């Protein structure tokens, strides 16, 4: 598999900010939106494989590497990232709808983008969305403990707690060096993210989407992600669901072959 240095860097301006991204391939456009603690390097096993079939673009969201926030910033939010990605998509797509995939927190941004600007979205893939839906009770605020550890300078302890909570106990210890380096680069984004935990999604609003939707889960992901997918599967009209074997929350890294094949199968059907 190729290493991270093969991901060609690009940069463009949108309104009051810059978007750093990587891209490869040609044809129909696929936009990949990463989740917490990540950036466009997170898609290192998707870009080479998927770009053989389409034009794949993966941005780093505002405040993430290579211009990562190192303190709490008010401009860091799902709402701001959604606005940024709408502007970015409009710039990229040249009036044509694109395929959109969001993972974890990125799934909430992708869903919000599709609701705000449905004309931009040809298909929507949500991988292990973890957001609160409607009037559900708030989740356990483990983010607060993580933020406290970061403020105390205990970066690795904070990251270990966060990664193990969203993926499963012992995950951080097993992570490879490049992944640990990436999330360390983005560690202090959690100081801003803690302000928006438990921000709910309006399921009634989302249910009006009419584009094809794929819900992707890791077979070994914590149960809360599967519960999100269960609810969304009942809410949408044109929806498919797939479970990636031998993988938890970071299923596109743990089992990239199965993840890429499932995504390409869905996108091929959608294109037809």
pLDDT of residue 254: 96
| Residue at 247 is within a domain | yes
Tens of pLDDT, residues 197-231: 768 899 999 999 999 999 999 999 999 999 999 99
DSSP H/E element including 242? strand 239-244
Residues 6+ apart with CB under 8 A from 116: 82, 86
**Residues β-bridged to residue 17:** 14
How many Cβ atoms are within 10 Å of 75's Cβ, its own excluded?
13
pLDDT of residue 2: 40
pLDDT of residue 198: 67
Three-state DSSP state, 136: coil
Q: Do β-strands 239-244 and 132-133 pair in parallel, antiparallel, or remain unpaired?
A: unpaired
Rg (CA), the chain: 17
Residue with the two structure tokens 């983010």: 143
The domain of 25 spans 4-134+200-271
Tens of pLDDT, residues 86-134: 999 999 988 899 999 999 999 999 999 999 999 999 999 999 999 989 8
Asked whether the bond before 66 is cis by omega within 30 degrees of 0, the reply is yes
Number of domains present in the structure of the chain: 1
| Residue at 204 is within a domain | yes
Residues 102, 204: Cα–Cα separation, whole Å: 20
| Residue at 233 is within a domain | yes
138 has pLDDT over 50: yes
| Residue at 118 is within a domain | yes
| Residue at 9 is within a domain | yes
Q: What is the CATH number of the domain that holds 252?
A: 3.40.50.1820
Instruction: Average the pLDDT over each of 1-5, 58-62, 176-180, 213-217 and give the range with the smallest value.
Output: 1-5
Tens of pLDDT, residues 1-52: 344 448 999 999 998 999 999 999 999 999 999 999 999 999 999 999 999 9
* Distances, alpha carbon 27 to alpha carbons 24, 54, 59, 99, 257, in Å: 10, 5, 18, 11, 21
Three-state DSSP state, 44: coil
- For the chain, give the number of residues: 272
pLDDT of residue 140: 63
| Residue at 34 is within a domain | yes
pLDDT of residue 3: 43
Q: Which two tokens stand for residue 169?
A: 């106990």
Residues 137, 156: Cα–Cα separation, whole Å: 30
pLDDT category of residue 137 using cuts at 50, 70 and 90: confident
Higher pLDDT, 199 or 77: 77
| Residue at 111 is within a domain | yes
Residue with the two structure tokens 């600007």: 117
Q: 108 and 131 in contact (C-beta within 8 Å)?
A: yes
Residue 50: name the closest of 21, 30, 35 by CA: 30
Burial of 237 by CB count in 10 Å (0-12 exposed, 13-18 middle, 19+ buried)? exposed
Tens of pLDDT, residues 253-265: 999 999 999 999 9
How many Cβ atoms are within 10 Å of 11's Cβ, its own excluded?
12
Residue 234: DSSP 8-state: H
Residue 98: name the closest of 112, 108, 107, 110 by CA: 110
| Residue at 218 is within a domain | yes
Q: 141 and 154 in contact (C-beta within 8 Å)?
A: no
pLDDT category of residue 195 using cuts at 50, 70 and 90: confident
pLDDT category of residue 135 using cuts at 50, 70 and 90: confident
């Amino acid at each position: 598999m190729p290493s991270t240095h093969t991901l060609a860097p690009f940069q463009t301006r949108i309104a009051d900010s810059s978007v750093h991204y990587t891209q490869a391939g040609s044809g129909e456009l696929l936009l990949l939106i990463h989740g917490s603690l990540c950036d466009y390097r997170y898609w290192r096993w998707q870009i080479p494989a998927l770009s053989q079939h389409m034009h794949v673009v993966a941005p780093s969201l505002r405040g993430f590497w290579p211009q990562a926030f190192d303190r709490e910033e008010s401009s860091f939010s799902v709402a701001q990232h959604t606005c940024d990605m709408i502007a970015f998509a409009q710039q990229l797509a040249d009036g044509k709808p694109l395929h959109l995939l969001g993972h974890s927190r990125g799934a909430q941004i992708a869903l919000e983008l599709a609701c705000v600007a449905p004309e931009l979205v040809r298909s929507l893939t949500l991988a292990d969305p973890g957001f609160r839906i409607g009037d559900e009770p708030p989740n356990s605020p483990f983010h607060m403990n993580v933020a406290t550890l970061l403020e105390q300078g205990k970066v690795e302890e904070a990251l270990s707690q966060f990664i193990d909570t969203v993926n499963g106990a012992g995950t951080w210890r097993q992570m490879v060096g490049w992944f640990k380096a990436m999330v360390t680069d983005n560690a202090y984004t959690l100081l801003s993210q803690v302000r928006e935990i438990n921000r709910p999604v309006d399921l009634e609003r989302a249910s009006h989407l009419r584009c094809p939707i794929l819900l992707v889960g890791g077979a070994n992901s914590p149960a809360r992600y599967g519960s999100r997918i269960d609810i969304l599967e009942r809410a949408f009209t044109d929806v498919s669901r797939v479970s990636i074997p031998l993988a938890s929350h970071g299923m596109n890294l743990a089992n990239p072959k199965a993840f890429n094949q499932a995504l390409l199968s869905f996108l091929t059907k959608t294109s037809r």
